[in-house]
Amino acid sequence: MPATKFICPKGQRIRITDCLRSCPNQQRCMFLPTLRAVAISLNRKISEPTVTELIAGVRETFLKKTSAYAVDPASVLYALQGQAIHSINELNTQGAILSEERLKDDITSGQFDLFGKILDADDGVLGDLKITSSFKLMRALGIYKVKVDTGEIYKSGLKKGQPKFKTELRYDGVRDLLDWAIQINYYRMLLENAGFKVNKMCIQAVCRDASLRIAAERGIDKTVYIIPINKISDCWLTRYFQHKAKLLRNAIEGKTLPPICSFRERWGNRKCLAYCAARENCPYAQRLQSQNKEVIANEFPFSA
């Protein structure tokens, strides 16, 4: 079931069709064509669960498919930017380059971005396009911060006598890009099952906040990064997607709420609190929201 309502800037909810017909406010929150594009992007008519849906938490995907929910149109704009980047690339795929083709097997379906001679002389390169934040990119590249003792001490103030530290970046950390790697590896499997030979997998990640100081502080000094992706076992991938597809299918057929998403899928609960579109229909997310409000009320009793 697609999203049925928009969340206005002031918090009120309005059916998407009503919003597109006539805004209840004096002025729209964004241009009407932009809102129409947002509405179209939220109404994808694909029956089988996609690769992206199965990588997400089963409960999240189940709630999005079976319950009505509301979204803030502004939260979808980054996704629209991603679609625009995809369209630009698709329009410039002259030669033996495949783009935006949807393939499927008996488990799921997926639409890869680019395949062919897209990076070097190798004509078997599978590429995936990402629009992401400097924080996500920092973790994907294995960049992390450490505090280094300067050998000096504070001579005054509250920290008098304590050692001084400075923050330095390190570039040898573990690359945190499992979801990206799982996604592009399954596209590789689909392509190979269709008779194509994939020799290399890469992600082209565009940093949406590359010009900001916070990006530089995270070690991100370029707008675009090419990130090579290693191969994941076909056996592991098949078992992973079969397991999640079965959980989702059983939940939909039995009309039962699946277990809560994993800690990684919940982004350590951050997704439940602010980013999951289905959080209003999830008992776990609602409980977290309630607990969060209680903490805020206790720490800042006069904030209201």
Closest CA to 196 of 119, 97, 90, 92: 97
* Contact of 169 with 151, CB cutoff 8 Å: no
Using N-to-C axis directions, what is the helix angle for 77-90 and 32-41, rounded to 10°? 80
Q: Tell whether the model's pLDDT for residue 297 goes beyond 60.
A: no
Residues 6+ apart with CB under 8 A from 132: 140, 205, 206, 207, 208
Give pLDDT, residue 298.
Answer: 56
- Structure confidence at residue 152 as a pLDDT band (50, 70, 90): very high
Residue appearing with tokens 């189940």: 62
Q: Which helix (H) or strand (E) holds 100?
A: strand 97-104
Domain 75-259 has CATH 3.40.50: no
**Structural tokens at position 70:** 């509301």
pLDDT averaged over the chain? 91
Q: Report the amino acid identity of residue 30.
A: M
Q: Quick check: 102 and 190 in contact, CB under 8 A?
A: no
Report the alpha-carbon distance of residue 184 to residue 188 in Å, rounded: 6
pLDDT digits (tens, 9 = 90+) for 268-290: 999 999 889 899 999 999 999 88
CB 249 within 8 A of CB 243: no
What pLDDT is stored for residue 79 in this prediction? 83
Count CA atoms closer than 13 A to 172's CA, side-chain side: 2
- Number of Cβ within a 10 Å radius of residue 267: 14
Q: What's the pLDDT tens digit per position in 162-182? A: 999 999 999 999 999 999 999
* Pick from 123-127, 157-161, 299-303: least confident: 299-303
pLDDT of residue 303: 44
The domain locations on the chain are: 75-259, 260-294
pLDDT in tens, 188-234: 999 999 999 999 999 999 999 999 999 999 999 999 999 999 999 99
- What's the confidence (pLDDT) of residue 285? 94
pLDDT tens digits for range 239-259: 999 999 999 999 999 999 999
